[in-house]
Every structure is written in C-alpha cells, then in structure tokens.
Structure 1
Amino acid sequence: MTEPEDRRPDRGAASPTAESNPAAAETTPARDARLDNAKFLLIGLVVVGHMLGPMRDYGPANVLYYWIYFFHMPAFILISGYLSRSFTTSPRRVEKLILTLAVPYLVFWAVDHAVHALQRGSLPDALSLLQPTYALWFLVALFLWRLSVPVWQRLRRPVAVALVVSVCAATTDLGSGTLAIGRVLSFLPFFVLGLTLRREHLALLDKLWVRVGAVAVMGVTALLAVPASQELSTDWLFLSSSLTDRDIDPLLPGLGIRLAFLGIALAMSIAFLALTPKRRTWFTDLGAYTLYVYLGHAALMEPLRMTPWYDVATGPVGTVATLLLAAGLVLLLCSPWVRACLRWAVEPRSTWFLKPLPDTPRPAERESAGSGSRA
C-alpha cells in the first residue's frame, strides 16, 4: 500500500514537464504499468487473505490463505521500496509522508477503536496510539522505512545489513508490539532490496526463462502450502513475534525456518512480478488507489465478522462466495464516489494539520499575487 501518487491521464507516458526539461525527466520517471498492475492485484490478495481468515477451518480455504501469506506483503513491501528510491528528508517530502501515512493512521486508529467500542460496549484493554490496530501496522512500517531511506542509500551492502537486522529481530524479545517493531525489522530486507532495484532489473522479468521459472515457483509453493497449513503456525507468516516466544530452539531449527520463509517470499515476489502484465490493462489506473482499499477494507472487516456471513458461508460454495465478495469490495473501494468520501482521511489537506512551508505563500498572499497579475 504505497502512498497516493500523482494522477496523470496517461501513466505510460512522460509528463510534458519531463519532455521539456531533461533534468525533470530524471527525477520524475514515467509510471510503470507493471507496478500499477501488481499493486492492484496485491491489494486484492490482501483483502482476500483477510476475508479468508475466519474460514481457515475449511482445508482448501486454509491452504489458499497460507499461499497468499507466503508472499503478498513481501511483494508489496518490495514495490514500496522501489517506489521510495527518490525519497529525501526535504520539507515537502516529509509533509507528504505525514499527510499520507501518519494522519490516516491516526484517523483509522480512532475509527477502529470506535467500531470496537460500539460492537462490544467497551474500549480495548490496550488503548495506545503506539500500538497499531489490525492492518495499520503497515502504515507505521512504511513511515519508518521511508525515513530511513537516506541511511540505506549510503551503505555499501544495504541488503546484507538489513538481513542481519531482520535476523537479530527474530532472536530478540521485542515486547508487546509497540509500533509493530517486530514486523518493521523483520520485513526490512524486502524494502531495502526494493531500494536497490533499477529499471534494468525489472526488464529481466520479461525473459522467457524467468517467466517459465515463475510458473514453476508458484506451482511448487502452492503444493508446499498444503503441509505448511497443517503443520506450521501462522506466526511464521506474520513475522510479528520473536523466535524466543515459541516452543522451539531460536537458532536451529527456528532461525533456519525463518530464513526459509524469507527465501520463499522473495522467490514468489519475483515470480509474481514476472507474471504480472507489463502493458496497460483495465485495472492499471486502479493501482494508484491501493491505500483507499487497504484502509477502507480494514475498517469494514470487524463489522463483517460480527454478521452471520461466516456462519452461512461455509465449505466450497462459501469460499467461492467470499472470494467474489472480496473482489467486489476491492472494486467498490476503488470507485470514484467512495474515494471522494474517504479523501479527507486518506489524502487530507495540509492546511488542516501543518503550518505552511517557508517558501509557500499564505492564502492572503496568493490572493494578492493573483490580483496583481490580473491588474
């Protein structure tokens, strides 16, 4: 769930500014249709995974759940890292970071607690802004990762360092989930790897042997999900808790299993991108609105669990119906009128929360300037 990005009529072409200014062309590259397609498909898998969660008593639904969780968040994080390559700590970049991640986090954190209070008659036991609710951990993680971009860009071996950090997080007691620090550190290698990628690396995905290998990877992991869903806890998928909290030796086999899951996630992320269409499709433009889907569906999941849906939707028919419901929800949350209703929370105006930047004219000054130019 990357931040909302600039909407241009043609995402496959460079902007007029880039054409007339070579320097701008370097800093404002054309949108990549493959990445927009991948973002839309991945946000669909996020919604499907969350909606299948309460149905894991049914074997096929549980297998599909595990297969999705093998890679969908690592792939999203990899793309987020790639799209964060140009991030700097300039005032305007930090302002956008606050408005598109920090403010929506606060809004939907309050919404989640309000829904909880209405449904259960009381507030949660843990009422702290530093403890993300449900799916909001990703906003915290992306906020912290992007602030750290200048650090990773200065290191000689950033991916290796990030992997060491992830391993240390797996063997250290990180407490009760404050700022989702376990996931922030554990998923860090995927974000840093995305920072190191270039367009020529993505071009390799178009080679025939890569796509054939991608099909094989997806097929083998689908088979692997069958025993994994029966034998292994979902804690291995979420990467949210330390290995010291489990009834297993944290080094061997614990650390080996953790590294194996990271390797599977990487292989499946690459395979997924290789199989994602690189041309424009009917859903390419919708890839720019993944944050609306992510935050909107998270706010609806708790009310949905309180309905009779999961009492009725059981077995193969219920699983198919849930998948269709998830697809419909994704398209609904991408619709223009839903985005218009949620824009105040997902893309709030800077004047509501931040003081003007030093080089930004105040409203009165802009009006005076406009009057002068008209005169």
Structure 2
Amino acid sequence: MGEIKQRDYVFDTLRGLCMWSIPISHFTRMAGHFSHDSLSGIVYITINVFVMQAFMFLSGYFSKKPEKSRTIAFKTFLWPYILSIFFFYGIRTLLWGHATLYLDRPPFAMWFMLALFLYKVFQKNYVKIPHFFAITFVLYLFAGCIPFLTEFLSLGRIVSYFPFFFLGYYCTPEHISKIKCLKRWQCWLLGIVLTGISVYLAFGLKEIPVEWYLLRRPGAEIGVMWYTDVLMRLLLVVLGCAWIVLMFNVLPGKDNYLAYVGRNTMPVYIFHLVVRQWIKKHGITMGLFMLPEADSVLYYVLIFGLASLCVVVFSSKPVSRFYDFVVDGLYSVFMWMMNHIVLGFFCAVEKTLVGCGLGIVRLLERQKQ
C-alpha cells in the first residue's frame, strides 16, 4: 500500500497568522493615538513589511498549475472583488450618508483580490517569458519612481507584490524543507534582529512615512527620494523573505486554531473592513468609554482584543457559511443570467444577422440570374 502523505499545516498556520495581523494593522492605525515613533509604529511597520508579501508568496506557491489558476480566477478572486465594490459603497453610504462609487479604484484592502486575479489569469502566458522573474524584480525596485504606478486600479501594489507571488510559484516542497532548518537559538537570534530593525524603522527612520510601506504610490508623492525608495524596496525584500523564513521555522506543522483561521480568511478579510470603517467614524471605543492613554497597556489590549474578536467571530462556521452562501449564491445567479439571458440574447442576434446575410446573398444570386 502507498504511504499517505500527511498534510503540512504550516501553510494554513502562516496564512492564519497573516490574517490575524491584518486587523491589528488596520486598527492600530485607526485607534486614535497612532504615531510613527511608538509601539504602534513598530507593530504597524512590522506587519506591513511581511504580511502581504507572505500572502502573495503562499498564493504563488499554490499556483503551480497555471491552467487551473486561470479557470478559477474569475470565481475565486474577481467575483468577490466586483461584489465588494458595491458592498462597501453601501457600507460607506450607511455610515457617512454619502459615498462615491469608484470603479477604477479597489475599495479598502480589496486590491489584493484584483492583483491575484491578474496574476492568475495571465499566469499561463507570462511564465513562458524568459527571465520574467528577473524582469518583475527590477520593475519592483523602480516601481516607486514610475509616476503612473499609483492607486489607479492598484497598479502600484500589483507591480510591487508580483515578485513575491513569483517567488512562491518557483518555490518547491524541497525548498521549504531546506528553509525549515534553523535551530531554536537561530530562530531567537533572527527574531531579535528583525524586531530590532522594526524598532529602528519606527524610531530612527522617521523620514520614511508609514504610508510608504503600503507600496501603493510613487515615493515622490509622499516625499521620498527616488534612490531612497529603491534602497528601501531592496531592504523590504530582505525583511519580507527573512520573516517568511522565520515563520516557517517557528510555526507548527500540525492542525491548530491559526490553521483553521487560515482556511477561512475571506470572511475575516471582508467583514473586518466594515469594523474598520465603524472605528473610523465612531472611534475604537465605539463611544462607550474614554479612549485609554497612548501607549498604555489598556490601549493595546483594546486594539489587539478587538482585532482578535473580529478574527474569532468572522472566521466562525456560521459567518463563513453565510459568506459562502451569499457569494456562491450570487455567482450562481450571475452565471444563470449570463447563460440564459445574455448569451441567449446574443445568440438570437447572431441568428438574425446570419439570416439577414443569407437573405442578401440569395437576393443577389436571383438578380444575377
């Protein structure tokens, strides 16, 4: 009998950790006492130098079959993205009384879905281009110097995170096994060094605004010189890869709660953004009590606690099933309309045009006779 290969849950666990970090990042920025040179700055910068990079790496790692990636790209990524445009337009209207419907700018953090759709739908084509990985890396380094790589269709982020998707695509299980070779003391040392770099970026490099770490706009728009932008992007690659290596060495390979969250990321990703908007309007205390002092223990307990509550609630089975029911249900309705109404209409138009064309041909033949 063949040996049954045991699933390595480290990938799910890493995805779950990254998903847990995203609400913490957003709530830290929105909580009310955010500053660059504080614990809030350290947390925010640390999360934004590796979390989305890790997400993209994992997405690329599990995209080894380009044909399959293209097949599922619309349903898995573009469809939720399209729904989110109208969903968050409604949320903004309810909260603020007015909103603008942007079709050319992904709402909130939904740029991630658009990026993955484009990566996957064209993957079958660009993987055949010689040295394309090197091309994407060079383009990433200089993306902050290109004026049109802005928030329009999230072009800045689509270009900036592409190398990490490609890195995951080329990574094999053998590579992962080699990565997971650090001893405990080496993990501690690497963790201390990476944390120390985050502290330096927060307290010693304040001329780089936290906005820059989102990689969504050219550096010149936020006051960063072009050569500084390039050097920081090079540093970001090193930090992102180092954090990913550390996570693969310290996270468990057995099933656990983080792995469960990693298998139910989309409801958390979508619904925590609603809470983020609520915090933006009403504050993180929701008007129930005074905002704790900056950098107090209670202040960070409030941020981490609310973020954790969002993860626990929105990843729960009832919420996950509700999300799947709505998204999959609307997709089924959409496809039924496309197949029975839209395609039926075009089919009728095509038959009419063909009939008219054949009629004209017969008429011309009679005239010749």
**TM bin (shorter chain):** 0.7 to 0.9
What is the RMSD computed on CA atoms of the aligned residues? 2.7
- Which amino acid letter does the alignment assign opposite residue 39 of structure 1? R
Note the 1:1-375 alignment, pairs <5 A.
31-55=7-31, 56-57=34-35, 59-88=38-67, 94-124=70-100, 127-174=101-148, 176-209=150-183, 212-230=185-203, 231=206, 232-250=208-226, 252-310=227-285, 312-314=291-293, 315-348=296-329, 350-354=331-335
> Which letter does structure 2 place at the counterpart of 1:104?
P
1:208-229 Cα offsets, whole Å, 9 max, x none, are: 34x6444323221212222312
Residue matched to 2:358: none
CA drift at 1:67 = 1.4
In structure 2, C-alpha distance between the alignment counterparts of 1:166 and 1:82, rounded to whole Å: 19
The structure-2 alpha-carbon separation of the partners of 1:245 and 1:265, relative to structure 1 and needing over 3 Å to count, comes to same
Q: Distance in 2 between matches of 1:276 and 1:285?
A: 14
How far apart, in 2, do the equivalents of 1:316 and 1:286 lie?
Answer: 26
Distance 1:282 1:187 in 2: 28
Aligned mates of 1:221, 1:189 — CA distance in 2:
21
Secondary structure, counterpart of 1:173 in structure 2: coil
Do the aligned partners of 1:215 and 1:271 also contact (CA within 8 Å) in 2? no
For residue 347 of structure 2, what is the aligned residue in structure 1?
none
The question of whether the paired residues in 2 share the 8 Å contact of 1:182 and 1:241 is answered with yes
Change (3 A) 1:341 1:149: same
| Conserved 8 A contact 2:142-2:230 | no
TM-score of the superposition, structure 1-length normalised? 0.79
Q: Give 3-state SS (helix, strand or coil) of 1:353's partner.
A: helix
Distance 1:283 1:332 in 2: 13
Q: 1:352 to 1:94 in 2, by over 3 A?
A: farther
| Shift, 1:308, TM fit | 4.1
* Structure 1 stretches of 4+ moved >6 Å: none
Moved more, 307-316 or 139-148: 307-316
Measured after TM superposition, the shift of residue 302 of structure 1 is 0.1
CA distance in 1, matches of 2:25, 2:62: 24
Q: Report the equivalent of 1:371.
A: none
Q: CA deviation at 1:95?
A: 5.0
Unaligned runs of 5+ in 2: 340-369
- Alpha-carbon distance, 1:156 to partner: 4.3
Number of matched pairs: 327
Q: CA deviation at 1:51?
A: 1.2
CA distance in 2, matches of 1:243, 1:176: 10
Q: Secondary structure at the match of 1:240?
A: coil
Aligned to 2:66, the other structure's residue is in SS state coil
Q: CA deviation at 1:186?
A: 0.8
TM normalised by structure 2 equals 0.80
| Structure 2 Cα separation of the partners of residues 140 and 30 of structure 1 | 33
The percent of aligned pairs where both chains have the same amino acid is: 20
Q: Deviations over 1:62-112 (max 9, x none)?
A: 211111112111111111110111231x6xx54532122112112222121
Q: Looking at CA atoms only, which structure, 1 or 2, has the larger radius of gyration?
A: 2
CA distance in 1, matches of 2:71, 2:129: 26
Are the equivalent residues in 2 in contact too, given 1:104–1:345 (CA < 8 A)? Answer: no
